[in-house]
Amino acid sequence: MCNCPHPAAMASLLSKNKAQQSCWYMLFFQTPRIPEAAVSADDFLMFEKAFWGKYGLLNKENFTAEDMEAWKCTFSKPDYLRSAINYYRCVYQHPDKGKIKEKCVVKTLILWGDKDAFLIKEGATLSKEWCDDATLHFIPGASHWVQQDEPKICNEHINNFLRSSESRSHY
């Protein structure tokens, strides 16, 4: 997982943590249709601001104009943008869905930028608690967009994780 908390961890944070409750974009995403229109307006200008603006990437050189066009192309497809926004709608509108009783049994890697302006670090530590076997790495100097800020570090952690998982498998 890259800077995205386990649903149960997110539900817990939203019910108890004032810092996480005040995240403006999650509240904005609760309205019907307006977020999709706002995000896609002006050729997805909100994406550009999210990545290259004040609270976006810390290593902007790692995310090119070509990368941005790929994001725009992906999220301009029918239902892609709405599906992404629906994650936040569900967390707020159906908090009981976050009351999961069983832990994730699949070996899990959590990569989290230590300079995320949107999600607090507790989301990562709580997510680890919801997994039987999880490895958590806070990536120094990375924002919410951890894999874009530090692609080499993230890829190294992913490769190591896959190698260690592969060595444990019994195929």
The string of pLDDT tens digits covering residues 77-92 is: 999 999 999 988 887 7
The stretch 117-129 carries a mean pLDDT of: 93
Structure token pair of residue 81: 């943008």
- β-strand partners of 144: none
In a domain, 74, yes or no: yes
Note whether residue 73 is domain-resident: yes
- Identify whether 45 is part of a domain: yes
What's residue 91's pLDDT?
77
Residue whose C-alpha is closest to residue 131's, from 110, 113, 114:
110
pTM for the whole thing? 0.85
How many structural domains does the chain have?
A: 1
Is residue 2 assigned to a domain? no
Name the residue with tokens 């926004």: 85
Residue 93 pLDDT = 78
pLDDT tens-digit map of 6-48: 888 888 887 787 777 667 788 899 999 999 999 999 999 999 9
Place 134 in a pLDDT band, splitting at 50, 70 and 90. very high
pLDDT band at 97 (very low <50, low <70, confident <90, very high): low
Distances (CA, A) of 130 to 94, 110, 125: 19, 12, 9
Please indicate, yes or no, if residue 25 is contained in any of the structural domains: yes
Note down the domain range covering 25: 7-168
Q: What is the mean pLDDT of residues 106-124?
A: 94
Cα→Cα distances 110→30, 66, 71, 127, 140, Å: 26, 27, 22, 8, 14
Quick one: pLDDT at residue 169? 56
Tell me the pLDDT band of 112, cut-offs 50, 70 and 90.
very high
- Whether 1 is covered by a domain: the verdict is no
68 within some domain: yes
- Residue 41: inside a domain: yes
Where residue 37 sits, what CATH number does that domain have?
Answer: 3.40.50.1820
